[in-house]
Amino acid sequence: MKGYHFDLFSSPGNVAYNKSTEQTGAWGGHTSERAVDGDTRTDQGLGSCAHPYDPNITQAWWRVDMGSLHMIYNVTIYNTNAWIGK
């Protein structure tokens, strides 16, 4: 799984912005809160992406707690544009 960044849009805007997040581990220090920090740059080298990782599981996960119910009408996922291992 590559790094990613999420935007969840409701009528007031990005309801995921700076909300509480969790993920399975963190590859290379790319922690879960980076996915909702508002930085949509797609270069992991700039510290702008989350990257869940746990060598003991086969399916990594990430989640956000938006604090309350929201009617979501758009989800935008920004994937990293570079492979770190190159």
- Alpha helices, H only, 3-62: none
Strand partners, 50: 4
Domain ranges across the chain? 4-79
- Has this prediction a pTM greater than 0.85? no
Residue 53 C-beta-side C-alpha neighbours within 13 Å: 14
For the stretch 41-77, pLDDT in tens is 777 777 777 878 878 877 888 899 989 888 888 888 8
| Tokens (6 digits) for 26 | 């963190």
Mean per-residue pLDDT of the chain? 76
